[in-house]
Structure 1
Amino acid sequence: MKRYTTYLFDFDYTLADSSKGIVLCFRHVLNLHGYTGITDEEIKRTIGKTLEESFSILTEVTDADTLAAYKKEYVKAADQHMTVNTFLFPETLSVLTQLKKDGARIGIISTKYRYRIMELLSQKLPAQFLDIIVGGEDVKTPKPSPEGLLFAIEHLSVPKEETLYIGDSTVDAETAQAAGVDFMGVLHGATTRSELEAYPHVGIAPDLTLLTE
């Protein structure tokens, strides 16, 4: 694969498996409001979208105030359960370490809150290892808007053609396309290879190791 100077990653289902915590928190809110027929797989299929979008998909609720209330309940549950139920994929640390050793800049662009990402990664990576983290609280328009990705590129002062965005979902693929940067899909999540292949990409791989091969 072509070498880039900057590698920007999605978080959930790309660098880490937080599905256990996500399902637990969604299940908590859904059960509170009587939604008992929703499967874990249906919840996992919404990972990568905003909480409001996910709850709307799962419950068919469209009222903004109701969705905001569900989000607030989710965040409260996540403060207790998310980090302890989130695990980096086996190759994540070695791939990130090798890219950094090779002189690349590394960042994360996610709909997940930045503080929650930092809470986990501060236990796994040296301080200042990542060059930038853009979380859901840092943008006005979430992915697939390119806002967060373009902000990172501008902040790091790197050319788009030297930047690769890596993610697991069609939302990530759309984000890269909208930003005008190359995209690599990783098959850690619930999105299939054929779904990712519908978007421009430089590679689709079972895991992150392709980045250092």
Structure 2
Amino acid sequence: MNNYDAYIFDFDYTLADATNPIVESFNYAFDKLNLKRASYKDIVNTIGIPLGEAYTLLTGDKSEESVNLFKKYQKEKSDQITVKQTVFIGEAKKVLETLKSNDKKIGIVSSRWGQRINDILVNLDARDLVDIIIGTEHVEKYKPNPEGLFKIIDMMEAKNVLYIGDSYIDAETAQNAKVDFVGVTTGTTPREKLERYPNVAVLDDIAGLLEI
């Protein structure tokens, strides 16, 4: 392995796939608000974006009241289904296990609620593989602002960091934090867009991380 002492991951579409519960909880919230349901593809394209911004992108509605109601209803449904329906992508768990066995520090910085990630990892019998989780409740400014990365790097006392993500937002976050980046094409951002940003590699499978 390289001389990185810390490997920090995005969550959705980098380590895990929660597509079905995300789509279901979004459309549940739209139903509660008497709004037209969004298409599967349109909702998927907002994954990785903070919830309020995703709502505005899908509806054009910026009102604080509507955004807060959407968040409330989305969470209501998500609480019921997300933990049990989220799965690892490919060899993601093996990658975490291998890094852990090599005494690497492992963290997650995500635009998802951190407690939800914690619960998902517990359900997947993998919570002990991740040292620190930084979610939206832990920062004031969301990605691509590097606040979350800076915070976790400081908490880990890490010296040489690699950030791994599936989105151009992750690439911009790494660039803003001035840390090395590996892109994975398991999300909605195409390879050619990820390759426009400074990167160590762009991988089709996160298992390739162990070969860098």
Q: Which range, TM-score by smaller chain? A: over 0.9
Aligned residue number for residue 76 of structure 1: 76
1:100-119 matches, within 5 Å, as 100-119=100-119
Partner of 1:172: 170
Asked whether the 8 Å contact 2:84–2:123 carries over to 1, the reply is no
Aligned to 2:36: 36
1:53-91 per-position Cα deviation (integer Å, ceiling 9, x unaligned):
000000001112211111111111110111122111120
Moved over 2 A (4+): 31-38, 123-129
Which segment is superposed worse, 34-43 or 7-16? 34-43
Distance 1:126 1:37, change over 3 A: closer
Q: Which residue does 2:92 correspond to in 1?
A: 92
1:17 to partner: Cα distance? 0.3
Alignment pair present for 1:204 and 2:183:
no
Percent identical among aligned pairs is 39
- Give distance in 1, aligned partners of 2:68 and 2:109: 22
Aligned mates of 1:105, 1:182 — CA distance in 2: 15
CA distance in 2, matches of 1:187, 1:205: 6
Residue 170 of structure 2 corresponds to residue 187 of structure 1: no
Equivalences for 1:42-57 in 2 at 5 Å? Answer: 42-57=42-57
Ranges in structure 2 where 5+ consecutive residues have no aligned partner: none
2:172 alignment partner, SS class = helix
CA deviations over 1:80-112 (Å, ceiling 9, x no partner): 111122111120111111111112110111111
* Letter of the structure 1 residue corresponding to residue 10 of structure 2: D
Q: Aligned partners of 2:126 and 2:194: how far apart in 1? A: 32
* Structure 1: 5+ residue stretches without partners: none
C-alpha root-mean-square deviation of aligned residues, in Å? 1.5
TM-aligned CA deviation for residue 129 of structure 1: 3.0
Alignment-derived partner of residue 27 in structure 2: 27
Q: With the length of structure 2 as denominator, give the TM-score of the two structures.
A: 0.94
The answer to whether 1:63 aligns with 2:63 is yes
The Cα shift of 1:140 comes to 0.8
Aligned length: 211
What is the alpha-carbon distance in structure 2 between the residues aligned to residue 72 and residue 33 of structure 1?
11
| C-alpha distance in 1 between matches for 2:173 and 2:56 | 21
Quote the offset at 1:137 in angstroms: 0.7
Counterpart residue type for residue 170 of structure 1 = Y
Aligned counterparts of 1:98 and 1:76: Cα–Cα separation in 2: 36
Shift of 1:154: 0.5
CA distance in 1, matches of 2:194, 2:151: 24
Q: Secondary structure at the match of 2:158?
A: coil
Q: Distance in 1 between matches of 2:127 and 2:64?
A: 38
CA distance in 1, matches of 2:79, 2:194: 31
Q: Secondary structure of the equivalent of 1:122?
A: helix
- Does the CA contact (< 8 Å) of 2:145 and 2:176 recur in 1? yes
